[in-house]
Chain A
Amino acid sequence: MAKFVAITILVIAILSAVPVVRNTWHPVEDVSVHGQAIDDQMSETMWEAGISFLASQIFLAWLIWRFSGDRPGEKSKSFPGGAKGLVTAAIVLVGVEVFALGIVGVKAWGSIYFTQPGPDALPVQVQAGQFAFYFRYPGPDGKFGPIHADKISEANQNFFGLDPNSDPDSRDDIVTAEMAIPVNKEVRLLMHAKDVSHSFYVPALRIHQDFVPGLDLQLHFTATKIGKYEIVCSQLCGLGHYNMKAYLSVLSQQDYEDWIKKEQAMQ
């Protein structure tokens, strides 16, 4: 029975590692400037966690195989080096491992959160509400008009509560249901929640940030590859949460300009 337990643990450990080694399931391809640092961090952590996982499970299996049963004539013995050796190993090996990961990880995190967008970054506002994202571009004046919560109305398609009559900055604002940005152009994303908490998760851009009602947040990023990518909500926001998604089109500069003109004409 003990040997069967040991073999089962061994088989489960190896089978568990196979899809990781074969890279069967993996994040969608990264198309951001900052994403490589996150992916590197992920694969380094996978190496360290994977080795820890396999080594621990295999060692556990071997101990169960080797040290089960009464085994008359054999005396109980202690692990060489005793607790002191193991505690030292845990502190030194795991301590060094996790702090190395932590310090390197700060760099990847900092590249997103501790840097400021450049002055030429394209401002785009995204508003999350049950259960859709809407996007707003400032138009030729480069300024967003203020949001008037009391004027927000899906029925009137005034998704951002704009009041062009009294706010000149709002008059040229462009509101869209899809997001489009130029390739290799830095984007400054202004995040606004209309109702409850949502999240802006774009796996391809290695971006993940909650919307906080009452607190507008900013992110900045640069997409490096033309294509169409999915934006999904990852913060439980109500019954339609599973279906809250939008597309992000990364376009060439010319295509973007054409697109924004077309959207402007439709306002």
Chain B
Amino acid sequence: MSDTAAHAAAHHGPPTTFIRKHIFSLDHKVIGKQYYGLGLAAVLIGMVLSWLMRIHLGWTNYAIPGLHFLSKAGAPGNVMTPELYLQVMTMHATFMVFFVLTVAPFAAFGNFFIPIHTGCEDMPFPHFNMMSFWTTFVAFCVMLLSFFVGDGPTLGGWTQYAPLSAVGSVGGPGQGAGVVIWATSLAIFCVGQLFGSLNFIPNILDLRCKGLSMWRLPLPTWAWFITSCMGLTSFSVLMPACILLILDHVAATSFFVPSNLVINDQLLPHSGGSTLLWQHLFWFFGHPEVYIAIVPGMGIASHVLITNMRKPMLSHRVLVYSMGAIAVLSYMVYGHHMFVSGMNPVSSIAFSFPTLLITIPSTIIVLIWIGSLYGAKLRINSASLFALGFISMFITGGVSGFFLAQPSIQILLHATYFVVAHFHFTMAIAAIFGIFAGTYFWFPKMWGRMMNETLGRIHFWCTFVGVYAIFMPFHYLGMAGNVRRYSSFPADYMQPLIGVHQFITIAALFTGAAQFIFLYNFIHSRFKGAPAPDNPWQGTSLEWSTTSPPPWDNFGGRHMEVYHDPYQYGVESSTGDYVMQASPEKVKTENDEP
């Protein structure tokens, strides 16, 4: 807030050793890049796993060369067994949800840009920040470990419904050590994310530079702030839930296992637990998690679009209020995952209405984006293409929410591919488009070099058309009653749907392959890209008021002061059609935030 407060974060000097500079760095920018690298590694794992799943679903008996390296028992003759399919599916979802969709848009970009957007030198607690990444990294390694321990990773799905997750190895391959490793990894992951949120929130509340009121924060920083608040309250629920699940395995407790269960003709020794308790705890975390994945993307796509539209959003405040409303409502809607779970059917109605209500702030956000495009001078580049793609995906994912918000319709669609379509379009694909938009937009700032624009556009076209080819048919499968989490489809009424699955598999292989264009562009540009100017997109927020990449203290010792709101575009100034936040130049403007 004050000049002094903004510089109170300068707890550490410039790094002097290799380890402090590149490994155990206290610099939020290095930590942000480390998170980004972790997300990149996880997305590669998740994508290859999705390829394996898709090949198996399209051609069940196809021998996938080298599959036995993943699991000897699970791939006799390199043909995937049903249990390996479920293990691969569970790990695909786990790596994607936690180590990609949470890590990349929130922890990676948030770490890099929050201190810069707030005009300070670093996070308030740099040591905690370093621990946040390394804790998450340990969680990632522990999760990877499950491929190599016992009979492989858990097959229980990323939701790990009890009692299948709590009964131990009698439940199936991976349900013993695999579940314990899964829950341990996520409990550690939660600690890492709590460290992160505990840095982001005070940074945004207390370390803003002079002149930077809350309403002058750029939209991604608002989104990270809202996401941090969600993270703080939802990961702190997942962590104890995971600990209780571990105790059911290692301490013979029965938190999630009731009495009188019989598996393989053996009466289990548990008694007194509740299976629905796990679902309540998990989804109390799980639904906010959906928004933890998507809200940063909303902020990033807005930021990228505004810069490329050369005009601000119709209303900065309405967007912020709407994101906040979504965050608050996200805790009241989680029961829509449980409409047919056996909870009281009156509760289903109670959870249905907030779910329907959440479509209102979501619609407001979409209409503000669309309305803001009206009258713009839209620049088309890789970043803006992905931001526009984000809007298209979010609309598509949003409208399928109309169906799933209604308990009566979930009688038809629950646990079908319709649900898979819905959550992929919203929390997965839209969020990934947000990550790509952010990467193409901020790469020059983060790595000091420009990405190749032609490759970026080719990447966009392949991805945009590809993801629609993959995920739109999922809706049709769901409407036909195709149940998800099946390794093949022996039910008579699902047999005619195999052709659709084969089409999706081909689309998935093509779209996945196109991601290597991005990977090549990323690596090549990192080392051989043209040097980036300080402000390649004529942006206004504080990241564009420093060098590319920024120095270790972000602004080279300058005490930053902000004079404008973050999006003064379409004005007449000495720099052109925009005036930077840090520029004291006075311009005629309609809506500069105080």
A residues with a Cβ closer than 8 A to B are 1-2, 5, 8-9, 12, 16, 19-20, 24-28, 37-38, 41-42, 45-46, 48-50, 52-53, 56-57, 59-60, 63-64, 67-71, 74, 76-79, 82-83, 86-87, 89-91, 94-95, 98-99, 101-102, 105-106, 108-109, 112-114, 129-130, 149-150, 152-155, 161, 193-197, 199, 201, 203, 206-215, 217, 230, 232-243, 245
Contacts and interface: CB of A to CB of B under 8 A. Distances in A.
Given A199-B415, A214-B273, A236-B164, A98 B402 contact: yes
A150 B260 CA distance: 8
Contacts of B402: 45, 48-49, 52, 98, 101
B278 to A, nearest CB: 10
A119 B304 CA distance: 64
A47 to B, nearest CB: 10
A161 B233 CA distance: 44
User: Which 10 residue pairs are nearest across A and B when measured between Cβ atoms?
Assistant: A214-B258, A77-B375, A83-B315, A113-B345, A108-B408, A149-B260, A242-B486, A239-B83, A212-B342, A79-B371
A57 B395 contact: yes
A49 B398 CA distance: 9
Contact of A232 (B375, B376, B483): B483
A111 B396 CA distance: 31
Contacts of B489: 242
Nearest to A233: B483
Interface stretch (B126-134, B237-245, B354-362): B354-362
Interface stretch (B110-118, B377-385, B440-448): B377-385
Nearest to B89: A236
A196 B415 contact: no
Contacts of A41: 406, 408-409
Interface in B333-379: 340-342, 345, 348-349, 352-353, 356-357, 359-360, 363-364, 366-368, 370-379
A209 B343 CA distance: 10
A212 B457 contact: no
Contacts of B396: 16, 53, 57
Contacts of B406: 41, 45, 101-102, 105, 109
B171 A67 contact: no
B109 to A, nearest CB: 24
Given A109-B408, A154-B265, A197-B275, A25 B82 contact: no
B65 interface: no
B408 A38 contact: yes
B373 A60 contact: yes
Interface residues of B, number: 110
A70 B275 CA distance: 59
A99 B162 CA distance: 33
Nearest to B345: A113
A192 to B, nearest CB: 10
Contacts of A37: 408
A234 B372 CA distance: 43
Given A38-B408, A232-B491, A76 B275 contact: no
Contacts of A201: 415, 481, 483
A194 B262 CA distance: 6
B376 A76 contact: yes
Contacts, number: 313
Interface string B8-33: 00000000000000000000000000
Given A69-B380, A90-B364, A238-B155, 10 more contacts: A60-B391, A63-B370, A67-B376, A82-B314, A109-B407, A152-B265, A203-B493, A208-B412, A236-B86, A236-B164
Contacts of B82: 239-243
A213 B491 contact: no
Interface of B: 81-83, 86, 155-157, 161-164, 167, 171-173, 175, 257-263, 265, 267, 273-276, 309-311, 314-315, 318, 340-342, 345, 348-349, 352-353, 356-357, 359-360, 363-364, 366-368, 370-380, 385, 388, 391-392, 395-396, 399-400, 402-403, 405-412, 414-416, 457, 461, 464-465, 468, 472, 476-477, 479-481, 483-493, 497, 500, 569-570
A27 B477 CA distance: 9
A195 B263 contact: yes
A236 B412 contact: no
Nearest to B416: A234
A205 to B, nearest CB: 10
A52 B370 CA distance: 13
B156 to A, nearest CB: 7
Nearest to B366: A56
B356 A99 contact: yes
B372 to A, nearest CB: 7
Nearest to A242: B486
Contacts of A102: 352-353, 356, 405-406
Given A16-B468, A206-B411, A86 B480 contact: no
Nearest to B590: A78
A16 B275 contact: no
A70 B372 CA distance: 16
A203 B480 CA distance: 9
17 contacts: A5-B388, A8-B464, A46-B403, A49-B399, A60-B370, A77-B374, A82-B315, A99-B356, A102-B356, A106-B408, A108-B408, A194-B261, A194-B262, A232-B491, A238-B171, A240-B82, A241-B86
Contact of B173 (A89, A106, A211, A239): A239
A109 B368 contact: no
A196 B162 CA distance: 7
A239 B464 contact: no
Contacts of A69: 377-378, 380
Contacts of B163: 195-197, 213
Contacts of B157: 236
Given A105-B409, A203-B481, A129 B414 contact: no
A20 B500 CA distance: 15
A75 to B, nearest CB: 8
Nearest to B170: A195
